[in-house]
Structure 1
Amino acid sequence: MVVPRFRTPALLGLALAILAAPAATRAETCLSPYVKRLDRPEKYLYVFCVDADAQENDFVITVDVDRASPSFGTIIHRLDLGSKGNETHHWGFTDDRTRIWAGGLFSSRIWILDVATDPAAPRVERVLDGVSAETGLSGPHTYYALPGRMLISFLGAADGGLPAALAEFTNDGEFIRRIDQPEEAPYGYDVAVKPELNRMVSSSFTPKRNYGKPFAEMSLDDFGDELVVWDFKSRTPLQVIEAGLAPLEVRWSLKPENDYGFTNCALDHSIYLFKGKGDGSYEAKKVADTAALPADLRQSPDDRYLYVSCFGGDEIQQWDVSDPERPVLASTVVPCVQPNMMHVTSDGKRMYVTNSLLSTLDRSGNFCVRLVHVGPDGMKVDPFFDVDLTGFETGPARGHDMLLN
């Protein structure tokens, strides 16, 4: 290696800063900022699966996504979770990335999975069966890592109604405290923290009494439209702001200095911007109309793009949010019917996609995992990466949330 000679200390300092800068592969998005980041390209994709007819146990699969591996794009492990009818849904890493907390919307059961002993083959470390009794809540949804703790947003009260709330646990599963919603915002869904600003935002959906029904029987009057702004350190609600109906994912801008973020409003078919006004208060406003039922929202590592899965419109949209108040639709792609969950890789070049939202909402039984490549000319579906989730010995499975390791 030839070491260049620098004529000025300033140039030398700049070169050292570039060499010392973290690699782009550490820029994983849509995880809690407290989660340890990968320092290499992904090798394993974990997929949280619901037995499609709820007659067999739910499970977790590991897909080989190491592009140098001879088994790339195939299922290499299946973990039986030991029970059925859970509506397994979302999950999240602990801060040290050694465990995944995963839960069921119907059963409110939570599994703590060990992914450190053998990352290719997760195992169940502990099952929490008494979550509703301990917290008074049901429908654990978002698993958000804090230092040594897991913060969980719940969709409703223990009886399946309202109010929703948040709860904190230690990483090994001990309940610490419940954090109540303000009375004027009883619905819950997602939660995300902006540590640099000491701010946290939570969003709204609907409780089990509603999401447990087929969509045609759900009441649109039983969905929330609020975002709650919190003082993060004290866990105190500061402000309730109105968005579109069913604001789901909360995504703060990735740049530390930016006091704004986005949410996808599923039943308003829109993207809303929430933004600090400079006086400590926040406002929310619609900045884009999407295709039908935007279900998931993801970010590019450079903070330039939002990806919106339009479950009802059968497409994924890529929005340029360089100007956050005026997003521009950059590209669209159709990876499968009813695309739902997405997971963008740490270099921003790949996106994995599953296509089940809820057993009460899915309209197709053709469940799969697809891969979308993201380049300067937009998104393109990989024609060779197609993990079929319909051919298990136990029958089809609904693949929902994903994590990379």
Structure 2
Amino acid sequence: MNLRPDPTFHATPKLAMAAPVEKLAFTLMLSPDGSQPDGLAIVDVDPSSKTYGDVVHTVIMPNTGDEFHHFGWNACSSSLSPLTGHAFLERRYLIIPGIRSSRIYIIDVKEPLKAKIHKIIEPEELFEKTGYSRPHTIHCGPEGIYVSTLGGGGADGTDGPPGIFIMDCETFDILGRYEMDRGLQDKHYDFWWNLPRDYMVSSEWGLPPQFENGIVAEDLLSNKYGHSIHFWDLRGRRNIQTIDLGENHQMALEIRPAHDPAKQYGFCGVVVDTTNLQGAIFTWWRNDDGTFEAKKTVTIDPQPADAADLPELLKGFGAVPPLVTDIDLSLDDKYLYVACWGTGEMHQYDVSDPMNPVLADKVEIGGIVKKTPHPNGRTFGYGPQMVEISRDGKRVYWTNSLYSTWDDQFYPGERGAAMVMANAAEDGGLTLDEAFWVKFPDGYRSHQIRLEGGDCSTDSFCYPNS
């Protein structure tokens, strides 16, 4: 335990933006066929370093078949909440769940180049204490580590709905389920919150049989994937409102609230509209009476394509959907980045007016049909997927794998892991850095990124900017 709060904890987003820039990134590596253990790659992101863009250390797990996907810190700026009893924690451990195995790894990265496994939580403990499976999103809260799940109990994860559980942020013991009253919530994906306002927002993907072996076309065309967002009394641990975005808006995934807690709005990305193959962004907000509303504020059109250039799943449509699979919001709440995994584009929207986002720029790289190479000439397999923004908003990193079985459906054949970075101009604009290209070990794909000292999808802030 520290005698003072960790210097990487910041009271406000504005203070976090002024903090020292990241020199290392932590990126998940997964073995798509389970032939190798998954791992954590530590990447040099310091442009003055001789090893810039190189993997400088790896932590390889002792098990196979975990399928690493999302991960997060044991503690972050939320520890500065006046409600916490943990103000003197360190941002020291990364919590990495196996979405397929339901196993959880605690990695000690106090010395990043000597990062090592601190603890392993076996799936039986998760099942016994929560009845949940397929752990997914990690968020460090004031009083513990919150983990969303995609599965309930039973072999196929459909014995009861998935939800959230809480872990002790010092011992990493699983404490139990979060929900006291889940209301209409019966699927899960992402979640985040506004801590001072005491509410949480969660979203939906699908149940394990709908994603583990690839997308189920019949379920998609029948609108059976998630299409609602749920609002919660955070401390009361109960669902207070559910908004159905429309059953055609299939797979409401990433939740990105404004970082400044004085602002009561946020964004949710929708993978595909089954009526027209568009991707979409919804803006949600809280009214003065405490109720919530949501409105579609961005649509992204599909791109026409010859059936011969499309994977089997899309041949009948004659088009490539954008497939909005990740979004991320800069700490100043000005720019929203939208990963269009299908068309091979990273969009940058000016969301200074959250009800009227404006496309500021976009970068083309990869894509089902276009297959746009990186400016350095290398082939970028798949499309832009997990996106992470530096605290100062000047660098935008992303990787290319969505989920192993979905990769194989939309992009048949092995395409390899990739991680790239674009420089973002203060007044809008994205330019891929030709010198930054991460080569991962053979046989791996790459997914989520965390940045040294925190990033734009990690920390929750407890005090307004002004």
Q: Deviations over 1:256-279 (max 9, x none)?
A: 221111000112310001111221
Q: Deviations over 1:145-166 (max 9, x none)?
A: 0124100111120222251111
Q: Deviations over 1:298-331 (max 9, x none)?
A: 1122211100001112101011111111111111
* Partner in structure 1 of residue 390 of structure 2: 345
1:327 and 1:234, CA in 2 relative to 1: closer, same or farther beyond 3 A? same
Deviation at 1:23, TM superposition (A): 9.5
SS of the aligned residue for 2:128 comes to helix
* Partner in structure 1 of residue 40 of structure 2: 60
Q: Which amino acid aligns with 1:359?
A: S
Q: Deviations over 1:209-231 (max 9, x none)?
A: 11111235572244111111111
* Partner in structure 1 of residue 51 of structure 2: 71
* Partner in structure 2 of residue 10 of structure 1: none
Deviation at 1:68, TM superposition (A): 2.2
Is contact 2:13-2:332 (8 Å) kept?
Answer: no
* Partner in structure 2 of residue 8 of structure 1: none
The answer on 1:320 being equivalent to 2:350 is: yes
* Partner in structure 2 of residue 165 of structure 1: 163
Name the CA distance, whole Å, in 1 between partners of 2:232 and 2:13. Answer: 32
The answer on 1:308 being equivalent to 2:364 is: no
Deviation at 1:290, TM superposition (A): 2.4
Name the CA distance, whole Å, in 1 between partners of 2:330 and 2:364. Answer: 19
SS of the aligned residue for 1:361 comes to helix
Name the CA distance, whole Å, in 1 between partners of 2:203 and 2:13. Answer: 32
Name the CA distance, whole Å, in 1 between partners of 2:128 and 2:342. Answer: 36
* Partner in structure 2 of residue 104 of structure 1: 98
Query: Which TM-score applies when normalising by structure 2?
Result: 0.76
Name the CA distance, whole Å, in 1 between partners of 2:216 and 2:164. Answer: 29
* Partner in structure 1 of residue 362 of structure 2: 332
Is contact 2:54-2:439 (8 Å) kept?
Answer: no
Query: How do 1:104-183 residues align onto structure 2 when only pairs under 5 Å count?
Result: 104-116=98-110, 118-129=111-122, 130=124, 131-159=126-154, 160-161=157-158, 162-171=160-169, 172-180=171-179, 182-183=182-183
User: How many equivalent pairs are there?
Assistant: 370
Gaps of 5+ in 1: 1-20, 28-37
Q: Which amino acid aligns with 2:238?
A: T
1:265 and 1:253, CA in 2 relative to 1: closer, same or farther beyond 3 A? same
Deviation at 1:385, TM superposition (A): 0.9
Is contact 1:43-1:64 (8 Å) kept?
Answer: yes
Gaps of 5+ in 2: 1-10, 76-89, 274-278, 302-321, 367-381, 453-466
* Partner in structure 2 of residue 379 of structure 1: 430
* Partner in structure 1 of residue 284 of structure 2: 274
Name the CA distance, whole Å, in 2 between partners of 1:198 and 1:22. Answer: 17
Name the CA distance, whole Å, in 2 between partners of 1:23 and 1:297. Answer: 18
* Partner in structure 2 of residue 404 of structure 1: 451
Deviation at 1:183, TM superposition (A): 4.4
Is contact 1:139-1:207 (8 Å) kept?
Answer: no
Query: How do 1:26-65 residues align onto structure 2 when only pairs under 5 Å count?
Result: 26-27=16-17, 39-65=19-45
Q: Deviations over 1:82-119 (max 9, x none)?
A: 11111111000111311111111110111011111x12
Pick one of 215, 219, 227 that aligns with 1:225.
227
1:365 and 1:216, CA in 2 relative to 1: closer, same or farther beyond 3 A? farther
Q: Which amino acid aligns with 1:401?
A: Q
SS of the aligned residue for 2:263 comes to coil
Query: How do 1:241-260 residues align onto structure 2 when only pairs under 5 Å count?
Result: 241-243=243-245, 244-260=249-265
Name the CA distance, whole Å, in 1 between partners of 2:216 and 2:234. Answer: 38
Backbone CA RMSD of aligned residues: 1.9
Is contact 1:138-1:157 (8 Å) kept?
Answer: yes
Is contact 1:44-1:120 (8 Å) kept?
Answer: no
Query: Which TM-score applies when normalising by structure 1?
Result: 0.87
Q: Which amino acid aligns with 2:263?
A: N
Pick one of 240, 243, 258 that aligns with 2:242.
240
More strand by proportion, 1 or 2?
1
Query: How do 1:197-216 residues align onto structure 2 when only pairs under 5 Å count?
Result: 197-215=197-215
Pick one of 403, 417, 428 that aligns with 1:358.
403
Name the CA distance, whole Å, in 2 between partners of 1:321 and 1:353. Answer: 20
Name the CA distance, whole Å, in 1 between partners of 2:135 and 2:218. Answer: 20
Is contact 1:25-1:347 (8 Å) kept?
Answer: no
Q: Which amino acid aligns with 2:114?
A: A
Pick one of 287, 298, 302 that aligns with 1:288.
298
Give % identity.
30
Query: Per chain length, whose mean CA-contact separation is higher, i.e. which structure has more relative contact order (CA < 8 Å, sep 6+)?
Result: 2
